[in-house]
Chain A
Amino acid sequence: MNPDASTIAAGAPIEVDLTPVAEGQDIKVFWRGKPIYISHRTKKQIDEARAVPVASLPDPQSDEARVKAGHDQWLVVIGICTHLGCIPIAHEGNYDGFFCPCHGSQYDSSGRIRQGPAPANLPVPPYQFVSDTKIQIG
């Protein structure tokens, strides 16, 4: 009952062009049936994410570890709440990040859990920059 060959083939890596995403904006793309948020973060959002002491977080992880070096403005996360799988809404909640409408989990501008029942940060999917304005997810 594991995924069949066509499902696996459809889950191959995809490329996303980042040129149209302006600062402060984010887009949602689907990969393997999962929504992936790509946020072009503002300076303020990056500073907020880096100002918080890592040890104080429920799932400690530094912002630097969640983005690619040299592309600090781009945050790429799987938009599935780690609690029970709802899709959080971007640019909502108290932490300038994501807010899950189902059970009230709040994530910051680095996609890290800050408040609510979710046990972990929004996962970062495997991806790399193929050029300055294009990423490959998967």
Chain B
Amino acid sequence: MSGPSDYQPSNPALQWIERRLPILGLVHSSFVVYPTPRNLNYWWTFGAILSFMLGMQILTGVILAMHYTPHADLAFKSVELLVRDVNYGWLLRNMHACGASMFFFAVYVHMLRGLYYGSYKEPREVLWILGVIIYLLMMATGFMGYVLPWGQMSFWGATVITNLFSAIPYVGESIVTLLWGGYSVGNPTLNRFFSLHYLLPFLIAGVVVLHVWALHVAGQNNPDGVEPKTEKDTVPFTPHATIKDGFGVACFLLLYAWFIFYMPNYLGDADNFIPANPGVTPPHIVPEWYYLPFYAILRSIPNKLAGVIGMFSAIIILCFLPWLDAAKTKSSKYRPLAKQFFWIFVAVCILLGYLGAQPPEGIYVIAGRVLTVCYFAYFLIVLPLLSRIETPRPVPNSISEAILAKSSKAVASIAVALVAAGALFVGTLQDARAEEGGPKPPGNSWSFAGPFGKYDRGALQRGLKVYKEVCSNCHSLSFIAFRNLGDDGGPGYSVAQVAAFASDYKIKDGPNDQGDMFERPGRAADYFPSPFPNEQAARAANGGAAPPDLSLITKARSYGRGFPLFLVDFFSQYQEQGPDYVAAVLQGFEDKVPEGVTIPEGSYYNKFFPGHAIKMPKPLSDGQVTYDDGSPATVAQYAKDVTTFLMWTAEPHMEARKRLGFQVFIFLIIFAGLMYFTKKKVWADSH
């Protein structure tokens, strides 16, 4: 993108186009012959990874939008049904939802890389500021995207974040009304967020073009921070950088696929599987992990307006970085003090992220204040001061000289950086749910756990029987149709069995030609009917507590795993908090209330229920349901079977997900290996 290209295509048709629109020359000069410093390390592949992720998010997002209904009453349901009924809908949703997290993970690595190697310094100030703008747009897009599924955390996250703007004096309230389109977060809010969530990624793509343009004018920075001087310092972009980026993307895909296929809900919040309810606030409103450090800054400042200003300035301050850090030496490799402070800063960010997920009380508040001061001190005191007092180590004269002097120390620093980046990623995932006291649900050996987990067909069929004979008296199962009972990976009934099962139910239909509603036997396409006509009726019949719908209950309930178990879970693929909790509650009833615990009238004592006072009476007792296959008719067996069944209702495509995941992993490992050896071959003469 620098100056007219002398590229001449050999094909006459392309020559004809090139004379009128030199687009091939543009591509050729920007992505083929473009000189790239030959000492770039793998941290420089994150630019390509980010471009890839942006494309991925736009592609999956456009397809998801074809199946999504932006209406307060229908949004939650449309997301659930697209996961269940659309071909590979579960894959699209996982790719998009985990993709957002991966996008932010990559952008944080990319930003920290820029910070470490001084990529914001002259002549790259505009390039850096464009990057900060992209980051701000990403935050807005991510936030609005999180609102769209219209679960509890979506709704309350939207309420908390839009209320931030009410802190602005004089115009704050009007801004909030404009965001809401009403008197509170509601349907108009959802509609405008959907529209903006569709628009902003294309704005991001536009700014990315400017970002790349600015990059190709100023040239890439490099780990040694010395500008390329001779041709010996650079290699052509293609094939050198393209193949290296390709290998970087392939490795990144391995991490991405780990989430998509094996840990899709690890980064999410169980509360978001509960439909939005303006009348009930979740006990802890926690943003997505990538906002947590800024959320911690917001909360640690006791004044509302000052908190909001603090949070936004934590991001805006990045724009001024090129002038706050006046040191001539770019790379922290040659700045012994700056290097140490950089790692302290990374630790501060990780800890702020951790605090952002904790309840705002006691020691957490004080720690949050200290770390907020540290965060700003890094930019406002440490960096300006260092550029005056630090004596940098001598910088090599040229890139080729730096390569010759390359020591093995770099490998160690990369390893440290990798570990730190990994910790930044998982360190912020701590579940904020308060420990409500009482024992944690005991673990179970579920047949569906692990990378090759499958549902036990017998358990699914027995669980369906328990649901039908016991649970369905109070609990609905509204996202499940009778036809699902015959689906692959489900209880495995035949078409005839499903039809017979459905015809036992009376389904309300109509109106008929006379205008009356009538009842008819169920068909395979009908959904399980609800025991109560509406939520109010359910509430009135059950002592004020409406029995929740069970379709998603095993994903909508969870419990805090605590440090360090949640780190282990990432590697062991433990995803069964929900089923463990449900099975524990079903077996946790005790007639004798322990001393010192008072249970209100009309409630029952349950060991595992948060707060211990549950409105549901003990639902299961030995011998209550007769099993045809000789399984023991005990509460433990019932609980296990019905929980397995409810896990299937929450994740009907789990078997397909894990099966495809295995195939994808085999492919990706081979692909990454091939990319690696190709890369080695291409770079063989360049080192």
Interface residues of A (CB under 8 A from B): 1-4, 7, 11, 28, 30, 32-35, 83-87, 100-104, 117-119
What residue of chain B has the Cβ atom nearest to residue A87's Cβ? B281
Which residues of chain A come closer than 8 Å to B159, judged between CB atoms?
84-86
B residues in contact with A35, CB < 8 Å:
278-279
CB contact under 8 A between A3 and B304, given known A103-B299, A104-B360? no
A-side contacts of B283, CB under 8 Å? 101
Contact-residue bracket for chain B = 20 to 34
Beta-carbon contact of A1 and B178 below 8 Å: yes
Residue B5 at the chain A interface, CB threshold 8 Å: no
B160: chain A residues at CB < 8 Å are: 84-86, 102
Tell me the complex Cα distance, A48–B192, Å. Answer: 45
Those 9 A-B pairs whose CB atoms lie nearest each other, nearest first: A32-B183, A33-B184, A85-B163, A84-B160, A86-B281, A85-B159, A87-B281, A7-B182, A84-B163
A122 vs B303: C-alpha distance when bound (angstroms)? 17
16 extra A-B contacts, CB within 8 A, seeds A1-B181, A86-B159, A102-B284 = A1-B178, A1-B192, A2-B181, A3-B181, A11-B182, A11-B183, A33-B184, A33-B278, A34-B184, A35-B279, A84-B159, A84-B163, A85-B159, A85-B163, A117-B299, A119-B304
Please measure, in the bound complex, the distance between the C-alpha atom of A86 and the C-alpha atom of B184, giving whole angstroms: 12
Q: Taking the nearest CB of chain A, how far is it from the CB of B551, in angstroms? A: 25
Distance of A64 from chain B, by nearest CB (Å): 27
Instruction: From known contacts A84-B160, A86-B160, A117-B302, infer whether A3 and B177 are also in contact, taking CB-CB under 8 Å.
Output: yes
- B331 CB to nearest chain A CB (Å): 41
* A and B contact pairs by CB, cutoff 8 A, 7 listed: A30-B279, A32-B184, A33-B185, A33-B186, A86-B159, A87-B281, A104-B359
Identify which of residues 288-316 in chain B touch chain A, using a CB-to-CB cut-off of 8 Å.
Answer: 299, 302-304, 307
A102/B281 in contact, CB under 8 A: yes
Name the one of B156, B188, B302, B303 contacting A3, with C-beta atoms under 8 angstroms: B188
Interface residue SS majority, chain B: loop
B168 at interface (Cβ–Cβ under 8 A)?
A: no
A92 to chain B, nearest CB (A): 12
Contacts of A33 in B (CB 8 A): 182-186, 278
Nearest Cβ in chain A — how far from B365, in angstroms?
9
B285: interface (CB < 8 Å): yes
A34–B279 CA distance with the chains assembled, in angstroms: 9
Chain A residues near B304: list those with CB within 8 A.
83, 117-119
Interface residues of B in 163-184 (CB under 8 A from A): 163-164, 177-178, 180-184
Q: Once the chains are docked, how many angstroms separate the CA of A103 from the CA of B356?
A: 12
Which B residues are in CB contact (< 8 Å) with A4?
181, 188
Does B684 touch A at the CB level, under 8 Å?
A: no
Question: Does residue B361 face the partner (Cβ distance < 8 Å to A)?
Answer: yes
Closest to A7 in B: B182
Question: Which single member of B182, B278, B281, B284 contacts A30 (CB below 8 Å)?
Answer: B278
Contacts of A2 in B (CB 8 A): 177-178, 181
Q: Which residue of B lies closest to A120 (CB)?
A: B304
Interface: B280 (CB within 8 A): yes
List the A side residues contacting B180 at CB < 8 Å.
3
Query: Contacts of B302 on A, CB cut-off 8 Å?
Result: 117
Q: Nearest residue in B to A103 (C-beta to C-beta)?
A: B360
Residue of A whose beta carbon sits closest to that of B179:
A1
Q: Which residues of B contact A84 (CB under 8 A)?
A: 159-160, 163-164, 285
Alpha-carbon distance A1/B279, docked complex (angstroms):
25
Give how many A-B residue pairs fall within 8 Å (CB-CB).
75
Asked if B280 and A86 sit within 8 Å, CB to CB, the answer is no
Report the minimal beta-carbon distance from A135 to chain B, rounded to whole angstroms: 19
Most chain B CB atoms below 10 A, which of A2, A28, A84, A117: A84
Shortest CB-to-CB span from B220 to chain A, Å, is 42
Bound-state CA distance A102–B183 (Å) is: 21
Shortest CB-to-CB span from A88 to chain B, Å, is 8
Q: Give the distance to chain B from A26, nearest Cβ to Cβ, in Å.
A: 14
Complex contacts, A87 vs chain B, CB 8 Å:
279-281
Whole-angstrom CA separation of A94 from B192 in the bound complex: 40
Indicate if the CB atoms of B361 and A104 lie closer than 8 Å: yes
Most B-side CB within 10 Å, residue of A4, A86, A87, A102: A102
A58 to chain B minimum Cβ distance, whole angstroms, is 11
* Residue in B184, B185, B192, B299 with the greatest tally of chain A CB atoms within 10 Å: B184
Complex formed: what's the CA distance from A11 to B299 in Å?
33
**Distance in Å from the Cβ of A17 to the closest Cβ of chain B?**
17
A60–B159 CA distance with the chains assembled, in angstroms: 27
B178 / chain A contacts, CB cutoff of 8 Å: 1-2
Q: Chain B residues with Cβ under 8 A from A7's Cβ?
A: 181-183, 188
A contact residues around B361 at 8 Å (CB) = 104
* B340 CB, min distance to chain A CBs, angstroms: 35
Task: Report the minimal beta-carbon distance from A18 to chain B, rounded to whole angstroms.
Answer: 20
The CA of A119 and the CA of B164, in the complex, are separated in Å by 13
Q: How far is the CA of A84 from the CA of B285 in the complex (A)?
A: 10
- The docked-state distance in angstroms from the alpha carbon of A33 to that of B180 is 11
Residue of A nearest to B286 (CB): A102
Could you tell me the distance between the alpha carbons of A108 and B225 in the complex, rounded to whole angstroms? 60
CB distance from A134 to the nearest CB of B (A): 22
What distance in Å separates the Cβ of B373 from its nearest Cβ neighbour in chain A?
A: 18
A86 to B160, CA, bound (A): 7
Cα–Cα, bound, A102→B155 (Å) = 14
**B164 contact set on A, CB distance < 8 A:** 84
A104 to B192, CA, bound (A): 31
CA A7 – CA B178 in complex, angstroms? 13
Interchain nearest-CB distance for B569 vs A (Å): 26
Complex contact B281–A3 (CB within 8 A): no
Residues of chain A within 8 A (CB-CB) of B360 are 103-104, 117
Query: Which residues does chain B contribute within 8 Å of A32, judged by CB atoms?
Result: 182-184
Query: Taking the nearest CB of chain B, how far is it from the CB of A46, in angstroms?
Result: 25
A3-B279 in contact (CB<8A)? no
Q: Chain A residues with Cβ under 8 A from B281's Cβ?
A: 86-87, 100-102
Which residue in chain A gives the minimum CB-CB distance to B162? A85
A36 to chain B, nearest CB (A): 11
Checking B188, B285, B299, B303 against A119 with a beta-carbon cut-off of 8 angstroms, the contacting residue is B303
Residue of A nearest to B164 (CB): A84
A100 and B361 alpha carbons, distance in the complex (Å):
13
A residues less than 8 Å from B182 (CB atoms): 3, 7, 11, 32-33
- The answer for the CA separation of A28 and B178 in the assembled complex, in Å, is 26
Bound complex: CA of A117 vs CA of B281, how far in Å?
17
Minimum Cβ distance to chain B for residue A82 (Å): 8
Q: A3: shortest Cβ distance to chain B, in Å?
A: 5
Asked if A34 and B183 sit within 8 Å, CB to CB, the answer is yes
The minimal Cβ–Cβ distance linking B538 to chain A, given in whole angstroms, is 18
**In the bound complex, what is the Cα–Cα distance between A84 and B162 (angstroms)?**
9
Chain A residue, CB-CB nearest to B160: A84
Chain B neighbourhood of A104, CB < 8 A: 359-361
- Residues 177-205 of B, flagged 1 when their CB comes within 8 A of A and 0 if not, give 11011111110100010000000000000
Bound-complex Cα distance A28 to B159 (A): 19
Given contacts A35-B279, A103-B299, contact A86 B181 (CB under 8 A): no
Map CB proximity to A onto B339-360 as digits: 1 under 8 Å, 0 otherwise.
Answer: 0000000000000000000011
